[in-house]
């Protein structure tokens, strides 16, 4: 993509409404624009990152054997009356009336909708377990939408649901999601700590939140200091016995605000870390809370009817864009992990308009594209300082810098955004580094 053609409206000034660094950088880099409080449009650069995160989340759900569906954003109020949550959910739910005076709502989550689909289609224990997910926009009329897409009113969530014949089987499904979350966050370059958590309006008796430690996190958390240095990414086969693996994590103290335990913390002494965290995922096991009122039963091995045991599993896909920035930036801007970067490399033409530089850059641009490398080519006729500043701001992993002096000597410059190292080398060597 040529920058002269790319819709990337960067801002020079720091927007005053943005209180946290991720929000500031997303606005400055031209990734998002606010439409109204807590509601955002995603511009090309931001949307590319959102799509990359969406893809990684999807790949890990598929890998664990969860199947993708797509449910609507608008749901019938009657379904929520049947579960008893229509009144319980309160003012966070956006209620809508259609032209026939029917009560509808913009889904804040989908337990009811998926249970209805399941109940109408699955009749035998032989068809269990069923693991289904979707990635869809949600609406919650948050009292205090803030920090940009971190706490929006409209946000993109991956929500998955499990249906099992027994509590033991439901626990197996829960463990699978637990492990798949560790893998997902690792691929996103994040260290997300699983913590015992409250269940809130979703309900149930077992729940874990996955949090990344960041000063700007909304909640206070406490955990054993081992979690900070620990390798949380799990290279685990889903067919393994997952219970001991999950126990290995959950046996160590880690708790969100509501679940903190004074005695356990006192016992930890110097091993206790109290910090702030960003919740990037939340999983729940809630038994028959929804299958009972919505009649989700199957015939069991003896022919008797059994209510299915359920769980639900959320990941904040749009929040993750901000969370990755909170975890990876410096004074100059964003530092994208390779896996989610909007482009792999930024090609900087230091003297756009100069015939030799233009020719060299056009050739390199074409070569990179032919090799399937996603490249953003800064072909603007602006001063070098502005180009460097913009490239650092948008945080692509690599910068390939082409100038007249280097071309005369047969060298180009390659900069790694993360480490900051700049190196002069031949074009061939630079290209092979980028394609490695
Ligand atoms: N039905 C369950 C699991 S599928 C559920 O809704 N869980 S949740 O309420 O914890 O939300 C799941 C994830 O969505 C959270 O961990 C968080 O990362 C993200 N999320 C929740 N509210 C918001 C919000 N207002 N803005 C951005 N992301 C949010």
Give the domain CATH number at 170.
3.30.930.10
Could you tell me the distance, in angstroms and rounded to a whole number, from the CA of residue 396 to the centre of ligand 1? 28
Verify whether ligand 1 is closer than 6 Å to residue 319 (CB atom): yes
Query: Distance from the CA of 159 to the center of ligand 1, in angstroms?
Result: 9
Distance from residue 314's CA to the centre of ligand 1 (Å): 6
In degrees, rounded to 5, the angle at the alpha carbon of residue 434 between the alpha carbons of residues 429 and 435 is: 100
Ligand 1 pocket test, pick from 61, 142, 316, 322 with the greatest ligand atom count within 8 Å of Cβ, gives: 316
Vertex 385: Cα angle to 327 and 5 (nearest 5)? 80
pTM: predicted TM-score of the whole model, two decimal places: 0.96
Q: Which residue has the tokens 């030799």?
A: 356
* pLDDT of residue 268 exceeding 80: yes
Are 138 and 245 in a shared domain? yes
Which residue minimizes the CA distance to atom 29 of ligand 1? 316
Kindly report the protein residue whose alpha carbon is nearest to atom 21 of ligand 1. Answer: 316
In a domain, 236, yes or no: yes
Is the CB–ligand 1 distance for residue 112 below 6 Å?
A: no
In a domain, 299, yes or no: yes
**Which atom from ligand 1 is nearest to the alpha carbon of 142?**
25
Return the residue whose CA atom lies nearest to atom 17 of ligand 1: 316
Our mutation pick for probing the ligand 1 site, out of 153, 157, 207, 324, counting the most ligand atoms within 8 A of Cβ, is 157
Looking at 334, 355, 373, the residue that finishes a domain is 334
* Count of domains for the chain: 2
pLDDT digits (tens, 9 = 90+) for 311-344: 999 999 999 999 999 999 999 999 999 999 999 9
Q: Which two tokens stand for residue 129?
A: 């377990």
Euclidean distance between CA atoms 33 and 42, whole angstroms: 7
Write down the pLDDT at residue 136.
Answer: 98
Range of the domain at 169: 3-334
Structure tokens at 254: 């880690």
pLDDT at residue 231 is higher than 90: no
Q: Which of 175, 422, 188, 199 is nearest to 325 (CA)?
A: 188
Q: How confident is the model at residue 234 (pLDDT cuts 50, 70, 90)?
A: low
The mean pLDDT value of the chain amounts to 95
**pLDDT over 70 for what percent of the chain?**
100
User: Mind listing the pLDDT tens digit for each residue in 212-229?
Assistant: 999 889 889 999 999 988
Within a domain: 399: yes
Ligand 1 atom 11 nearest Cα: 314
Query: The tokens of 99 are what?
Result: 């032209």
Q: Is 340 a member of any domain? A: no
Given a cut of 80, is residue 203 above it in pLDDT? no
Of all protein residues, the one whose alpha carbon is nearest to atom 16 of ligand 1 is 281
Residues 171, 265, single domain; the answer is yes
- Residue ending a domain, among 334, 369, 403, is 334
């Amino acid at each position: 993509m040529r920058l002269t053609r790319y819709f990337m409206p960067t801002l020079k000034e720091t927007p005053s409404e943005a209180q946290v660094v991720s929000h500031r950088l997303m606005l400055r880099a031209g990734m998002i624009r606010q439409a109204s409080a807590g509601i955002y449009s995603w511009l090309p650069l931001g949307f590319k990152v959102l799509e990359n995160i969406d893809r990684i989340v999807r790949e890990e759900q598929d890998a664990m054997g969860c199947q993708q569906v797509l449910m609507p954003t608008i749901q019938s109020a009657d379904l929520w009356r049947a579960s008893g949550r229509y009144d319980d959910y309160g003012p966070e739910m956006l209620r809508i009336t259609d032209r026939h005076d029917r009560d509808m709502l913009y889904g804040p989550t989908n337990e009811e909708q998926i249970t209805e689909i399941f109940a109408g289609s699955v009749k035998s224990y032989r068809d269990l377990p069923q693991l289904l997910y979707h990635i869809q926009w949600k609406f919650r009329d948050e009292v205090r939408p803030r920090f940009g897409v971190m706490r929006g009113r409209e946000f993109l969530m991956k929500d998955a649901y499990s249906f099992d014949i027994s509590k033991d089987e439901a626990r197996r499904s829960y463990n699978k999601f637990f492990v798949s979350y560790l893998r997902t966050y690792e691929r996103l370059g994040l260290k997300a700590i699983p913590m015992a958590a409250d269940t809130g309006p979703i309900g149930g008796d077992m729940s874990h939140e996955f949090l990344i430690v960041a000063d700007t996190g909304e909640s206070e958390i406490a955990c054993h200091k081992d979690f900070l240095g620990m390798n949380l990414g799990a290279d685990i086969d889903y067919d393994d016995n997952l219970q001991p693996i999950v126990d290995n994590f959950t046996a160590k103290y880690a708790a969100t605000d509501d679940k903190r335990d004074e005695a356990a913390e006192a016992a930890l002494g110097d091993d206790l870390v109290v910090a702030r965290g960003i919740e990037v995922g939340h999983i729940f096991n809630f038994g028959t809370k929804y299958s009972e009122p919505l009649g989700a039963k199957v015939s069991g091995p003896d022919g008797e009817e059994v209510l299915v045991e359920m769980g639900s599993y959320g990941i904040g896909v749009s929040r993750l864009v901000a969370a990755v920035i909170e975890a990876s930036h410096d004074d100059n801007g964003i530092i994208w992990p390779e896996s989610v970067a909007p482009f792999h490399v930024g090609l900087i033409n230091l003297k756009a308009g100069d015939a030799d530089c233009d020719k060299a850059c056009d050739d390199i641009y074409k070569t990179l594209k032919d090799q399937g490398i996603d490249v953003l080519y800064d072909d603007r006729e602006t001063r070098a300082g502005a180009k460097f500043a913009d490239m650092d701001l948008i945080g692509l992993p690599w910068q390939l810098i082409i100038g007249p002096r280097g071309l005369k000597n047969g060298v180009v410059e390659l900069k790694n955004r993360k480490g900051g190292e700049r190196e002069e080398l031949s074009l061939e060597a630079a290209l092979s580094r980028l394609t490695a």
